[in-house]
Amino acid sequence: MIDRTQPVYPQLERILRERIKDGTYPEGDDGRMPAVLDIASEFDVAASTVQRAFKALREDGLIITWTGRGSFVTERKP
């Protein structure tokens, strides 16, 4: 799924965005994102790579992170 001949971070960010868009990670309180370490393990990448992707998703308003609770997909406005 990740092409190791290309930069990993943009690929991971794109995959997470697609999963948010297609509903793999639902919106709102039910939309808890998998833990950073779980995603890192799934894609065999460093946790810092996942954290960087999460930061970009937060900056674009796609997810929100609460310390101690995790990251959640924000509800999209109609």
In a domain, 3, yes or no: no
Cβ atoms < 10 Å from Cβ of 72: 19
Domain CATH code at residue 25:
1.10.10.10
Nearest to 43 by CA among 77, 20, 16, 74: 16
Inform me whether the pLDDT recorded for 78 exceeds 70: no
Residues 32-72 have pLDDT tens digits of: 999 999 999 999 999 999 999 999 999 999 999 999 999 99
Domain that holds residue 30: 8-73
Count of structural domains within the chain: 1
Q: What is the pTM of this model?
A: 0.90
